[in-house]
Amino acid sequence: MANESTSSTLSELYTEIVAEALFVASEQSIMRPLVKNYAIQGGGKSVEVPIYGVVSASAVSEATDLSNTAINPTSVTITASENGIMTTLTDLARNSAPRNVAGDIGRLFGEAIAKKIDKDLTALFDGFSTAVGGDSTALTSAIIFQAIANVRNAGVSMDGVSTVIHPMVAYDLKANLTNTFANANGNDVSNEALRNGFVGRLGGVPIYETTNIDHTGTGGDYKQGVFHRDALALAMMQDLKIETQRDASLRADEIVATAVYGVGELNDTYGVEVHSDSSIQ
């Protein structure tokens, strides 16, 4: 392609953008470490994940043959697609700016890609067949415990189970835990919510807050999730990548950030949708 720049001709600008973008993408993503991660390698743009069902053992009488148990896994295919963002940085803007414009662009691009990954993953909460709460229901600890019970009923261990809610909904949970912030008989969890505004763990499950959950319906409706790590998956074909291309006639550089990935639900019974309405929105 004509007027294409290389890392040697734009080494300073290119290095600054890549370093900043990769750092921010790693720091801003909440969902990525909470789900199953796969790498798409060896050609193709899809990964097929085999799903093995539960098998049961039974008592056997002495000198009696065991009956055969068929093992026939199902599978889920996750297909990757491109996601990206581009801007054009002119020479005049870069050279006259009082700060590191390249670093700022890297920060913006890293946050944008990380936010897109999180939103694609949190959008999968709406696909869980089991749901608790409702579009006119404020979130309470009882609803969280109900969701945890449904996930545990699927036979998963507590290790790997997480709760992800929106901050506007988290307000109601914290208020419920502290009896509207004035609990005379507070426990460790409610006291922590009062002191730091952080719930921590509820029912043995860590609770994460993120704004990367799209608003649904009217008012303060959000569809959140309590799920085991094996409920959802992120298949990464190409992690965040920054490229530049010189436009000599424009006296500028095109800066492009892309990531190629796919998301999908692996096991529907391992997750529960938590539908709540924020009382302050």
Report pLDDT digits (tens) over 209-220: 888 998 877 778
Please answer whether residues 277 and 135 qualify as being in contact, where contact means their C-beta atoms are separated by less than 8 angstroms: yes
Which CATH code for domain 128-231+268-277? 3.30.2320
Task: CATH number for 11-52+73-122+236-261: choose from 3.20.190.10, 3.90.950.10, 3.10.20.30, 3.30.2400.20.
Answer: 3.30.2400.20
Which pLDDT value is given to residue 177? 78
Q: How far apart are CA 247 and CA 245, in angstroms?
A: 7
Q: Would the pLDDT of 6 be above 50?
A: no
248 φ, ψ to 5°? -65, -40
Which pLDDT value is given to residue 178? 67
Domain(s) labelled CATH 3.30.2400.20 in the chain stretch across: 11-52+73-122+236-261
Once rounded to an integer, what is the mean pLDDT over residues 150-155?
A: 94
Q: Would the pLDDT of 222 be above 50?
A: yes
Once rounded to an integer, what is the mean pLDDT over residues 98-120?
A: 86
Which pLDDT value is given to residue 27? 62
Whole-number Cα distances in Å, 122 to 60, 70, 75, 178 = 46, 35, 22, 27
Tokens encoding 124: 């999968």
Which pLDDT value is given to residue 215? 84
Higher per-residue confidence, 43 vs 86 = 86
Q: Would the pLDDT of 194 be above 60?
A: no
Which pLDDT value is given to residue 281? 84
| DSSP output for the chain | -TT---TTTTHHHHHHHHHHHHHHHHHH-SSGGGSEEEE--SSSSEEEEEEPPP-------TT-PPPP-----EEEEEE-EEEEEEEEEEHHHHHH-SS-HHHHHHHHHHHHHHHHHHHHHHGGGGG-S-EEE-TT----HHHHHHHHHHHHTTT--STTEEEEE-HHHHHHHHHHHTTTT--TT--HHHHHHHHHS---EETTEEEEE-S-S-B-SSTTEEEEEEEEGGGEEEEEEEEEEEEEEEETTTTEEEEEEEEEEEEEES-GGGEEEEEEE-TT-
Domain(s) labelled CATH 3.30.2320 in the chain stretch across: 128-231+268-277
Please answer whether residues 279 and 171 qualify as being in contact, where contact means their C-beta atoms are separated by less than 8 angstroms: yes
State how beta strands 232-247 and 36-39 pair: parallel
Which pLDDT value is given to residue 110? 84
Please answer whether residues 266 and 76 qualify as being in contact, where contact means their C-beta atoms are separated by less than 8 angstroms: yes
Higher per-residue confidence, 27 vs 166 = 166
Please answer whether residues 268 and 127 qualify as being in contact, where contact means their C-beta atoms are separated by less than 8 angstroms: yes
How far apart, in Å, do the first and last CA atoms of the chain sit? 50
Q: Would the pLDDT of 179 be above 90?
A: no
Q: Would the pLDDT of 176 be above 70?
A: yes
Which pLDDT value is given to residue 103? 78
Average predicted confidence (pLDDT) for the chain: 84
Which pLDDT value is given to residue 118? 93
